[in-house]
Structure 1
């Protein structure tokens, strides 16, 4: 049974018609600081047992967390905070050396525990929502990031099961580089390339490698290897 105030919905919106989210306001928001406008979209997973449970938590004033949107596994879309307002979803972290990500971003939660694939219905609604937000706020594919990108070591969502390459193919996330990476390149070159890509948080080498792999090659294991350089898309430092 849906929670009180949450209408049931099973039909997935068209990929061409505008989305009409279920409005379920959260008290956990405030004004964006310093006149900032959204320039990023941060993707999360809920790590909870159901979308209804997640909606309730994101609207609980005692918890003091929220997001602008939540997409259920069945494609149901809720909106909890207006895009113009500052939702409390990102926490501490930075991207391209910019902090206060909450004031710079729109947060989208995906109903997923983090240990299983994201449903086709959910991904279809996400793609439509991303397109609409990107048009409204004149965002580029590089504006779409994961929570783990801006908070390496602290967060791991949307996790290793999220299909970033699906978004890349549609121009909804930055395309990864291709080609061969360098042999025996030092960590400082990897760190410089990662920083150029946006991973600017002050973390140790292993934490940075884990964050980059979560985004581009979550199957990667062990120490830094040539394949870890490839998705960052730069060859000049080793040619």
Structure 2
């Protein structure tokens, strides 16, 4: 094993599976990965509850199975779903973590990347509070870049070409993070 491999394996993030800067909101919606050392993909998503509305407790409640379905008509459609993500980045850059990185969050659904199916098995999912057609905030881009760098240090198999959108791993089924997501700007921040 090389010195750099030992360094990555000894990463505090890799050992704990949790970002110290994130507010911990444990979701029950996760399971074991087939191989917790096989983390090699990062998937960018978006979510807003109700759709195209920001703020409020609804995303956290949804990922933690405590969504009040009487609070909005749309919530009745999704009330029985059990989903999660590793991280959520709110509009102001606040960071929430729902699932440890070593665990399998339920964010990708039926999916494939480079011919390999079931992305949840080997991917980290990051949700941005947003919608396909609404521009994301600078605070979100900066937080996403900072978090991605930390994740890449801990799991170096997540190279730049292994960072993708939900729409790319589930085409025809998903559209997020949508055309409003500026991949070029994000990649510039990531490199800088």
Q: Normalising TM by the smaller chain, what interval? A: 0.7 to 0.9
Q: Quick check: which one's strand share is greater?
A: 2
Paired residue secondary structure (1:83): coil
Q: Deviations over 1:85-129 (max 9, x none)?
A: 000000012110001100110000000022210001111111100
Question: Matched residues in 2 for 1:104 and 1:76: separation?
Answer: 25
Aligned to 1:58: 63
TM-score by length of 2: 0.76
Aligned to 2:125: 107
| Change in 2 beyond 3 A, CA 1:104/1:53 | same
Q: Which moved more, 1:51-60 or 1:80-89?
A: 51-60
CA positional deviation for 1:37? 1.9
CA positional deviation for 1:170? 4.1
Aligned to 1:182: none
Aligned to 1:142: 161
Q: Which structure has the larger Rg?
A: 1
Q: Deviations over 1:174-199 (max 9, x none)?
A: xxxxxxxxxxxxxxxxxxxxxxxxxx
Question: Matched residues in 2 for 1:143 and 1:97: separation?
Answer: 13
Question: Matched residues in 2 for 1:35 and 1:76: separation?
Answer: 27
Give structure 2 stretches of 5+ with no counterpart.
1-18, 67-79
Q: Deviations over 1:186-225 (max 9, x none)?
A: xxxxxxxxxxxxxxxxxxxxxxxxxxxxxxxxxxxxxxxx
1:168 aligns with 2:187: yes
CA positional deviation for 1:58? 1.2
Aligned to 2:72: none
CA positional deviation for 1:19? 5.6
Kindly report the root-mean-square deviation, in angstroms, between the aligned alpha carbons of the 2 structures.
1.7
Question: Matched residues in 1 for 2:35 and 2:154: separation?
Answer: 20
Aligned to 1:81: 99
- C-alpha contact (below 8 Å) 1:42/1:106 kept by paired residues: yes
| Change in 2 beyond 3 A, CA 1:129/1:34 | closer
Question: Matched residues in 1 for 2:43 and 2:22: separation?
Answer: 18
1:42 aligns with 2:43: yes
- C-alpha contact (below 8 Å) 1:47/1:114 kept by paired residues: no
Give structure 1 stretches of 5+ with no counterpart.
1-17, 173-239
